[in-house]
């Protein structure tokens, strides 16, 4: 079980065009929790979770992972702890084969030879994608790409797994496979999504965002019975 808590204090982020994507967000996630960050497009979900591994650094406020504040100087340590799977899988699959993509992070921390082969094969096996090891990533289906991206992240053995809209471009069977994969990951999971049913299958806690702010934080099941919240947060149709 992971012992790396996440503490966000009064976080704010404004894009260069002046768009305030996250405003006054404070959030604490204990080790081992499974948390869904929910909201419609533009609610601030992706901006928030990109702060968790330093893809984006705060304009105001702070993000702390297990006692280590996220700054330019701590990015190497943070990214060894927090694995982020991007919404657009093509942004994460930049090597010429599935093997090379999954091997990239462990190779960067000094793993080589037979040990590297073992890490890659075990990571792909965990997501039921070992048969893809020699394929070119751009020849894979959406669901296969998602599996390889997850394998690429878990190959470095992160304590915290963060996924941005993981059901995008995946068919119903692929979503079912993804649920099974995520249920097997025993450490902290944070999932950004607008898909309530998927989130409920994997997470127990829900954080609802609207216009860059948190408007609800609690038991995920409570959201389903709150029509006013569902409608205001743009989640009513999915429900």
**pLDDT tens figures, 160-194:** 999 999 888 788 888 888 898 898 888 899 999 98
User: 28: part of which helix (H) or strand (E)?
Assistant: strand 20-29
User: 205 in a domain, yes or no?
Assistant: yes
**pLDDT higher than threshold 80 for residue 14:** yes
Interacting residues of 73 by C-beta distance below 8 A, sequence separation 6+: none
Helix (H, G, I), strand (E, B) or coil at 196: helix
Chain-wide mean pLDDT for the chain? 90
User: 143 in a domain, yes or no?
Assistant: no
* Kind of pairing between the strands at 188-193 and 34-38: parallel
80-94, 108-122, 154-168, 220-234: the lowest-pLDDT one: 220-234
What pLDDT, on the 0 to 100 scale, is given for residue 214? 96
Domain of residue 201, residue span = 6-90+159-232
**pLDDT higher than threshold 70 for residue 112:** yes
User: 71 in a domain, yes or no?
Assistant: yes
| Nearest by Cα to 184 from 106, 142, 127 | 127
What pLDDT, on the 0 to 100 scale, is given for residue 237? 57
What pLDDT, on the 0 to 100 scale, is given for residue 2? 44
- Going by pLDDT thresholds of 50, 70 and 90, the confidence category of residue 236 is low
**pLDDT higher than threshold 70 for residue 1:** no
**pLDDT higher than threshold 60 for residue 26:** yes
What pLDDT, on the 0 to 100 scale, is given for residue 174? 82
What pLDDT, on the 0 to 100 scale, is given for residue 212? 94
CATH of the domain at 55: 3.40.50.300
φ/ψ region of 143 (left if φ > 0, alpha if ψ in -120 to 50, else beta) reads alpha
**Domain count across the chain:** 1
User: 37 in a domain, yes or no?
Assistant: yes
**pLDDT higher than threshold 70 for residue 239:** no
| Nearest by Cα to 79 from 8, 21, 162 | 162
Q: Phi and psi at residue 191, in whole multiples of 5°?
A: -125, 120
- Going by pLDDT thresholds of 50, 70 and 90, the confidence category of residue 233 is confident
Mean pLDDT value across residues 202-216: 94
What pLDDT, on the 0 to 100 scale, is given for residue 121? 96
**pLDDT higher than threshold 70 for residue 52:** yes
User: 139 in a domain, yes or no?
Assistant: no
- Identify whether the C-beta of residue 120 lies closer than 8 Å to the C-beta of residue 157: no
- Name the pTM for this structure: 0.89
User: 118 in a domain, yes or no?
Assistant: no
User: 224 in a domain, yes or no?
Assistant: yes
Interacting residues of 103 by C-beta distance below 8 A, sequence separation 6+: 116, 119, 120, 155
């Amino acid at each position: 079980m992971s012992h790396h808590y996440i503490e966000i204090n009064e976080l704010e982020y404004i894009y260069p065009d002046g768009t305030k994507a996250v405003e006054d967000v404070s959030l604490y996630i204990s080790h081992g929790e499974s948390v869904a960050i929910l909201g419609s497009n533009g609610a601030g979900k992706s901006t928030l979770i990109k702060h968790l591994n330093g893809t984006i650094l705060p304009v105001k406020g702070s993000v702390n992972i297990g006692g280590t504040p996220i700054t330019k100087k701590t990015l190497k340590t943070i990214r060894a702890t927090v694995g982020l799977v991007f919404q657009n899988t093509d942004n994460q699959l930049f090597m010429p084969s599935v093997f090379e993509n999954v091997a990239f992070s462990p190779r960067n921390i000094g793993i080589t030879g037979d040990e590297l082969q073992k890490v890659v094969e075990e990571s792909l096996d965990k997501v039921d994608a070992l048969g893809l090891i020699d394929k070119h990533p751009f020849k894979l289906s959406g669901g296969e790409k998602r599996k390889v991206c997850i394998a690429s992240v878990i190959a470095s053995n992160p304590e915290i797994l963060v996924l941005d809209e993981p059901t995008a471009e995946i068919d119903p069977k692929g979503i079912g496979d993804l649920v099974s994969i995520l249920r097997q990951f025993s450490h902290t999971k944070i999932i950004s999504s607008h898909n309530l049913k998927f989130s409920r299958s994997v997470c127990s806690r829900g954080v609802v965002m609207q216009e860059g702010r948190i408007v609800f934080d609690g038991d995920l099941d409570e959201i389903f019975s709150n029509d006013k919240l569902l409608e205001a947060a743009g989640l009513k149709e999915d429900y």
